């Protein structure tokens, strides 16, 4: 059995999410000979924003920058951190529960002037 496109019907859907998150719905289609239920899940993320952090500290003294991570989705998040660059430290993982904001403590500990 092969569908060549002549047996299909388009179903336009307009979706305007109020915020980032996971949105689920069911679409029920009925005809005299058939009933079908389609489940749709849309995952919406916020626009990606580039950020820059500048650390100013005397040589050999560390500074900590707490980076806020807000979870406005409907599921808990678990992040794994991969830090690159000499002198940067932080926890390898962080959990952010639904509706909460967690702080990721990024530490910069210079070993010389840089």
pLDDT digits (tens, 9 = 90+) for 90-101: 999 999 999 999
* Cβ-contact 17, 23 below 8 angstroms: yes
Extents of the domains making up the chain: 63-108
Residue 68: partners with Cβ closer than 8 Å, 6 or more residues away: 101, 102, 103, 104
Q: What is the pLDDT of residues 19-38, one digit of tens each?
A: 888 889 999 999 999 999 98
What is the spatial distance between Cα 85 and Cα 34, in angstroms, rounded to a whole number? 60
pLDDT of residue 66: 92
Q: Are 77 and 36 in contact (CB under 8 A)?
A: no
What is the model's pTM?
Answer: 0.55
Q: Where are the beta strands (DSSP E) in the chain?
A: 21-31, 34-44, 63-70, 77-80, 88-89, 93-96, 101-108
**Regions of the chain short of the pLDDT cut 50:** none
Give me the pLDDT at residue 114, please: 64
**pLDDT the model gives residue 4:** 66
């Amino acid at each position: 059995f092969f569908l060549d496109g002549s047996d299909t019907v388009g179903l336009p859907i307009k979706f305007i999410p109020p915020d980032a998150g996971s949105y689920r719905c069911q679409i029920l289609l009925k005809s005299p000979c058939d009933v079908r239920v389609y489940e749709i899940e849309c995952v919406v993320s916020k626009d990606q924003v580039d950020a820059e952090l500048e650390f100013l500290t005397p040589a050999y003294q560390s500074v900590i920058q707490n980076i806020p991570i807000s979870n406005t989705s409907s599921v808990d998040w678990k992040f794994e951190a991969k830090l690159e660059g000499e002198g940067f430290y932080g926890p390898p993982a962080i959990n952010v529960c639904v509706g909460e904001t967690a702080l990721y403590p990024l530490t910069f500990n210079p070993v010389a002037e840089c």
